[in-house]
C-alpha cells in the first residue's frame, strides 16, 4: 500500500492536468507490462505454482545432475538473484568442464561476462572462474544441468536483492513525467501564440529529459532482475597453487664483499659522471684563458720608433 499511495500522490497533479485537456494519460513503458513491475500472486493463490515455474525457481533436476537444491523459493515482486558456486572437476578435465559451463550458459539464453584461468606449476591450465548472466527463469537450470560425476560441489551461496520498492518508485515518477509531457504537448497544439509555443517547447524538452533518465533507470533495474548472475569457480582435483621457491641466504662475508663491491662501482660511476659533466666547462675555461693570453700579447707589441 505505501507504493500505491506514493504513485497516486505523484500522478494526481498530472492526471488532473491531463484530464483538463480531455485525454487519458498513457502508461509508461516497463510498468505493468513487458519487463516492468507486476505484483506477485499471494501465497496459496491459484496459479502460484505456474508463477514459480515462470521465475525458474523450481527447476527440474536432470539425470546425473550435481547436488543442487531445485526449489529456490518464490520471488515476491522484483528480486535480483545471484549465485556463487565452486566445483571440483576430475584431473585433466578443467578445459572440458569450462566448455560445458559456457555451452550450458549460451544454451539457456545467457552469455559470459568474464573469465579467468590459472596454470599449475607445469604450465597446464588446471583452474579458473567464470561470471555469467542467464535469465532468472533458468538460474536453477544452469547448475542442475551440470553432471554430478564431473562436477563436485565444494561451496554454494545464493543471494538476492529486492528491487520492488525501487521499481514502484521509478514507475510512478516515470508515469508522472509522461503525463506532464503529454499535457504540455496538448497545450502547445491548442495555442496560437508564438511566445507561448516557444516557452512550452522548452518545458517539453526539460520534461523529456526527465522521462529519458527515469526510463533508463527503470530499464537498468529490470535488466538486473531479468538476468541473474552466476559466479562459477572450477578447479581440478588435487590441483595446487604455484609455489615460488625461497631464495637461499648467502653468508655474511659474501654479502659484505658484494656490498663493498657495489659501493665501489657506484663511486667510480659517480666520478665518471662528474668528469663527463665538467668536461665542456673545462674546455670553455681553457679556451677563454688562451684567448686572453693571446690578446695580452698583441696589446703588449708596440710599433718601432721613427
C-alpha neighbours within 13 Å on the C-beta side of residue 276:
6
**How many beta carbons lie within 10 A of that of residue 91, not counting itself?**
10
H helix intervals, the chain: 2-21, 48-54, 94-107, 139-144, 164-190, 194-226, 252-300
d(CA 174, CA 267): 74
Q: How high is the pLDDT of residue 66?
A: 47
**How many beta carbons lie within 10 A of that of residue 36, not counting itself?**
21
Residue 113 sits at the vertex; the CA angle it makes with 107 and 114, to the nearest 5 degrees, is 115
Strands 79-89 and 227-236, by their bridges, are: parallel
Residues with Cβ within 8 Å of residue 236, at least 6 apart in sequence: 88, 89, 90, 91, 92, 93, 94, 126, 127
194-251 pLDDT per residue, tens: 999 999 999 999 999 999 999 999 999 998 899 999 999 999 987 654 343 444 445 6
Q: How high is the pLDDT of residue 293?
A: 80
Q: Which H or E run includes 138?
A: none
Residue given cell 543471494 in the structure block: 159
- Torsion on CA atoms 182, 187, 188, 192, rounded to nearest 10: 170
Q: How high is the pLDDT of residue 238?
A: 72
Provide the whole-model pTM.
0.51
CA 51 to chain centre: 31
74-123 pLDDT per residue, tens: 445 788 999 999 999 988 889 999 999 999 999 999 999 999 998 888 88
Report residue 302's pLDDT band, with 50, 70 and 90 as the boundaries: low
Query: Can you tell me the mean pLDDT for 62-83?
Result: 59
Lookup: cell for 17: 492536468
Lowest mean pLDDT, pick from 58-72, 162-176, 179-193, 232-246: 58-72
296, with CB counted inside 10 A (0-12, 13-18, 19+), is exposed
CA 229 to chain centre: 12
Report residue 56's pLDDT band, with 50, 70 and 90 as the boundaries: very low
Query: Can you tell me the mean pLDDT for 24-34?
Result: 44
8-state DSSP, 155:
E
Mean pLDDT of the chain: 74
Lowest mean pLDDT, pick from 26-30, 249-253, 275-279: 26-30
Lookup: cell for 261: 663491491
Taking a C-beta distance cutoff of 8 angstroms, is the pair 117, 128 a contact? yes
Q: How high is the pLDDT of residue 251?
A: 62
Q: How high is the pLDDT of residue 107?
A: 92
284-299 pLDDT per residue, tens: 888 888 888 888 777 7
Share of the chain above pLDDT 90, in %: 32
Amino acid at each position: 500500500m505505501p507504493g500505491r499511495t506514493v504513485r497516486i500522490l505523484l500522478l494526481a497533479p498530472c492526471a488532473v492536468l491531463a484530464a483538463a485537456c480531455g485525454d487519458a494519460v498513457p502508461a509508461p513503458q516497463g510498468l505493468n507490462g513487458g519487463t516492468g513491475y507486476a505484483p506477485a500472486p499471494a501465497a496459496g493463490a491459484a496459479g502460484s505454482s505456474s508463477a514459480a515455474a515462470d521465475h525458474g525457481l523450481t527447476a527440474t533436476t536432470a539425470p546425473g545432475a550435481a547436488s543442487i537444491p531445485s526449489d529456490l523459493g518464490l520471488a515476491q515482486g522484483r528480486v535480483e538473484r545471484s549465485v556463487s558456486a565452486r566445483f571440483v572437476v576430475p584431473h585433466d578435465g578443467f578445459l572440458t568442464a569450462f566448455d560445458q559451463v559456457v555451452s550450458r550458459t549460451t544454451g539457456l539464453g545467457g552469455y559470459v561476462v568474464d573469465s579467468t584461468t590459472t596454470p599449475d606449476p607445469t604450465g597446464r591450465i588446471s583452474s579458473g572462474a567464470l561470471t555469467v548472466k542467464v535469465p532468472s527463469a533458468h538460474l536453477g537450470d544452469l547448475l542442475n544441468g551440470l553432471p554430478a560425476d564431473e562436477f563436485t560441489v565444494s561451496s554454494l551461496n545464493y543471494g538476492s536483492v529486492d528491487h520492488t520498492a525501487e521499481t514502484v518508485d521509478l514507475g510512478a515518477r516515470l508515469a508522472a513525467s509522461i503525463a506532464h509531457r503529454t499535457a504540455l504537448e496538448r497545450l502547445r497544439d491548442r495555442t496560437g501564440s508564438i511566445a507561448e509555443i516557444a516557452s512550452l517547447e522548452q518545458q517539453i524538452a526539460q520534461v523529456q529529459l526527465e522521462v529519458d533518465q527515469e526510463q533508463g533507470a527503470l530499464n537498468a533495474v529490470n535488466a538486473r532482475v531479468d538476468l541473474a548472475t552466476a559466479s562459477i569457480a572450477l578447479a581440478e582435483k588435487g590441483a595446487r597453487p604455484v609455489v615460488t621457491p625461497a631464495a637461499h641466504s648467502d653468508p655474511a662475508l659474501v654479502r659484505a664483499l658484494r656490498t663493498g663491491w657495489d659501493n665501489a662501482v657506484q663511486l667510480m660511476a659517480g666520478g665518471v659522471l662528474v668528469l663527463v659533466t665538467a668536461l665542456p666547462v673545462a674546455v670553455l675555461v681553457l679556451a677563454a684563458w688562451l684567448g686572453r693570453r693571446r690578446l695580452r700579447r698583441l696589446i703588449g707589441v708596440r710599433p718601432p720608433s721613427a
